[in-house]
Amino acid sequence: MPHVQANNLEVYYEVQREGEPLVLIPYLAADQACYEFQVADYAKRFSCYTVDLRGAGLTSKPEGTYTTELFADDVAAFMQAVGITRAHVSGLSLGAATGMWLAAKYPSLVKSLSVHSGWTATDPYLRAVVQRLPAPVGGGARARRGRRAHPHPGTDPDHLRPVRRRHLCPVRRPADRGDQGRRARHLRGLRAHAHLRKRG
């Protein structure tokens, strides 16, 4: 199982080689195994590098606040440590936000960026949802395969630090009042749930 020293971490990764490098960044609380089904197809055209982020899987889990900018610093250091000078980068959710930071801060490392379900800033709705996330007791692709389960990287919403907007195209917010109403009702439900938990 390959590890590499990067940004004062022992970073775990896996690679399947066939063509230009493609770095796949996982989503919140997931390890690199979340891409195992996609890699089987991607590896026909790319050298696929799947990586466990700080705090997940078999990568080091230091104390402290984790941010998307810090994850991007880790990925950049990982790329340099394994000799990737420039790569296609793809990320999902947290991985997408990390990829945006990577492209904004280290543009020379990113040949192309594929963003799936990403965000550029944390709004009150996302902050409230993340603060209410329970820490998982295990699961995921690695646990199903009998490997070590990973901890939650933290429910502090500061790890969702936004990408600086000047680096990106403006993001259009939903104008549908129905969507805003649903979000407001969901937030009220979260607050009520938190109040009941405190009373209990």
Q: What is the pTM of this model?
A: 0.67
Q: Which domain holds residue 199?
A: 174-200
Closest C-alpha among 36, 129, 141, 42 to residue 87 = 42
Q: How far apart are CA 195 and CA 200, in angstroms?
A: 9
Predicted local distance difference test score (pLDDT) of residue 19: 92
pLDDT band at 11 (very low <50, low <70, confident <90, very high): very high
Give per-residue pLDDT as tens, 49-83.
Answer: 999 999 999 999 999 999 999 999 999 999 999 99
Strand partners, 48: 16, 22
Verify that 143 and 116 share a domain, yes or no.
yes
Of the ranges 105-109, 138-142, 168-172, 175-179, which is most confident? 105-109
Domain tally for the chain?
2
Predicted local distance difference test score (pLDDT) of residue 159: 46
CATH number at residue 73: 3.40.50.1820
Judge whether residue 163 has pLDDT over 70: no
Verify that 141 and 182 share a domain, yes or no.
no
Give per-residue pLDDT as tens, 84-102.
Answer: 999 999 999 999 999 999 9
Mean pLDDT, rounded, of the chain: 77
In this structure, are residues 56 and 98 in contact, taking their beta carbons and an 8 Å threshold? no
Closest C-alpha among 75, 87, 95 to residue 35 = 95
Verify that 181 and 104 share a domain, yes or no.
no
Verify that 132 and 193 share a domain, yes or no.
no
Please report, rounded to a whole number, the percentage of residues in the chain having pLDDT higher than 70. Answer: 66
